[in-house]
Structure 1
Amino acid sequence: MARARPFSAARLPGFAAMAAATFLILYAPIATLVIYSFNGSDSVAVWGGFSLKWYGAAWENAQVQEATMRSVVIALAASGIATVTATMAALGTTRRGRFPGQTLIYAIINQPLMAPEIVTAVALLIFFSSIKVATGYTGLGYLILAHAAFCVPFAYLPIRARLESMDLTLETAAADLYATPWLAFRRVTLPLLAPGIAAGAMLAFVISLDDVIITEFVKSAGQDTLPTYMLGQIRRAATPEVNAISTALLAVTVALLTLFFAVTRKRA
């Protein structure tokens, strides 16, 4: 008797049309944005011929340069803090047997992923506002800590996944060879964990670089990042310069995410 073919959603009637419509809905607006970033007209919606002038305008815009540098500084610092914190949390929750409250700890670490971002933003606003009033400090430290708090679960997930794929007997074997806990971590655990740490750091960096909601709630006057600067421009008089900035930011994000998936695939 002929064996029945395994079920495949791709064989369902209308699957190809539905998939094509989904990709069109998802990517047509992005493609339009990229195309109109080369618009020679002063309008964001009226095509005026191919031109690179808006990329040049964005490159020479002092406000764009300042906002970009601020975004990079915040993203680097926040992703660094989040990655170190996530690594310690992942080590504490995976390199041992099961213990009471382990599921609750997982839920607490991943809480920013489950809660609406606006809720996290309001909570951070209230928390940091009270500190600002008490200390008088209004620097970038609040934005860095706010981004780091939100980015911890994004860094935690790939690091934890990497640790869970590593056999616990590796450290035990190192201890049998008279390695101290620190030496076993530095020579055995850390090198094997490095791809997961790199993936977590890149993902946290991208999330921080692109964030708008938390930044809008926590930032002080004169602390616009690149996404919030673009939001402000759209609220006033939008030009294709915003399209050019968005396309450049999209290119950076895609490049980092591609590198992230390359690292995680290599890890697997």
Structure 2
Amino acid sequence: MREQIKKFYLGLVVLFMYAPIAVLIAQSFNASRYRGQWTGFTFQWYTALIENEDIMNAFLNTLSIGVLSAAVATMLALVTALGMRRMGSQGRIFFRGLANVPLLNADIVTGISLMLLFLGFGLRLGYDTILMAHVVINLPYAMLCILPQVLLMDRVCYEAALDLGATPAQAFYRVILPELKPGIMAAFLLSFAMSADDFIVTYFTKGAGIETLTTEIYAELKLGIHPEMYALSTLFFGAVVVLVSLLLFNYRVIRRYRKAEKRGADE
């Protein structure tokens, strides 16, 4: 009886998480433009999505800004974490707390302060300012993923590589990076997700003439969201499912390979 209750509770949680997404996917194939009224199955909104220049431009801006800001934030987080490893305990604690403050800061405060900073430096609000703003908001999340792994990293392997004749650069790329790969991947993916999902900071730093998906959706709320957005959201969700499936498959393959390698070594 207890097991059945657990399964029922787990089913409710999964239903609560994915029911809205299921409604969104169904609406993307609905021939009617109006929500809650099913008039037939169609692919017309996916075709209209490709032909809608505003949405496609917003999507490309979101994608490029997300990838670039995630890459820059991950690189800066890695360099900063390696530098913090050499600090004393007091300095490390201070800078860890300093890095965590933006996580608790309100987005509207960050957005307004960045807008004032860019305008104070005479920068024109646009693509570049959005990119810099997203690097700022992504950096603490990237630090959160990479720093714990850097602090737990064993330096013996790095020093052993140097003793065996490797240069510092070779030891870094062949020893340090593979060990930190899970944290780096997590930092990049989390940073990209935060960038693609951000609205408030983007709204204050975007200027006129450029839109991302979040600001484009906000602009459409006055007249009603176009069904093309349902199609684009469905494609986004499908891409995330494929990416997660590939990561899980890759993890299982590596795990099986390591088990087989360990068995061979034992024999």
Q: Give the shorter-chain TM-score range.
A: 0.7 to 0.9
Does the 8 Å contact 1:59/1:65 carry over to 2? yes
- Residue in 1 that maps onto 2:48: 57
The partner residue of 1:227 within 189, 214, 233 is 214
Partner of 2:61: 70
Residue 28 (structure 1) aligned with residue 19 (structure 2) = yes
How far the C-alpha of 1:89 sits from its partner, in A, is 1.5
Partner of 1:125: 115
Q: 1:261 to 1:97 in 2, by over 3 A?
A: farther
Whole-angstrom distance in 1 between the partners of 2:240 and 2:204: 23
The range that moved more, 238-247 or 68-77, is: 238-247
Q: TM-score, normalised by structure 1?
A: 0.81
Aligned length: 255
Change (3 A) 1:241 1:56: same
Secondary structure, counterpart of 2:89 in structure 1? coil
In 1, the alpha carbon distance for the partners of 2:126 and 2:108 equals: 22
* Aligned counterpart, 2:137: 150
Matched, 1:248 2:235: yes
Match of 1:187 among 174, 181, 195: 174
Gaps of 5+ in 2: 259-267
Distance in 1, matches of 2:29 and 2:246, equals: 26
Residues 65 and 195, structure 2, Cα contact 8 Å, conserved in 1: yes
Counterpart residue identity of residue 76, structure 1:
V
The CA distance in 1 between the partners of 2:250 and 2:198, in whole Å, is: 23
| 1:137 match: secondary structure | coil
Shift of 1:259: 5.2
Aligned-pair CA distance for 1:91: 1.2
Of residues 20, 24, 35, the one that matches 1:44 is 35
What residue is the counterpart of 1:6 in the other structure? none
1:139-162 Cα deviation digits (max 9, x unpaired): 311100111111112222332344
SS at match of 2:221: helix
One of 76, 99, 116 as aligned partner of 1:109: 99
Give 1:55 deviation, angstroms. Answer: 1.0
Q: Are 1:195 and 1:264, in contact at CA under 8 Å, matched by a contact in 2?
A: no
**More deviation, 257-266/100-109:** 257-266
In the alignment, which of 180, 191, 212 is matched to residue 199 of structure 2? 212
Q: Residue type of the partner of 1:119?
A: V
* In 2: Cα distance, 1:85 partner to 1:123 partner: 21
Structure 2 counterpart of 1:203, from 182, 186, 190: 190
Aligned 8 A contact 2:126 2:205 in 1 = no
Q: Which secondary structure does the structure 2 equivalent of 1:235 belong to?
A: coil
CA distance in structure 1 between the aligned counterparts of 2:59 and 2:28, rounded to whole angstroms: 18
TM-score (norm 2): 0.82
Counterpart code for 1:120 = T
Is residue 74–residue 187 contact of structure 2 (8 Å, CA) maintained in 1? yes
Q: d(CA) in 1 for partners of 2:201 and 2:177?
A: 32
Q: Tell me, what secondary structure is at the counterpart of 2:116?
A: helix
Displacement of 1:116 in angstroms is 3.1
Identical-pair percentage: 35
Deviation at 1:242, TM superposition (A): 2.2
**Superposition RMSD in Å:** 2.9
Partner of 2:72: helix, strand, or coil?
Answer: helix
CA distance in 2, matches of 1:241, 1:24: 25
User: Are the aligned partners of 2:27 and 2:35 in contact in 1 as well (CA < 8 Å)?
Assistant: yes
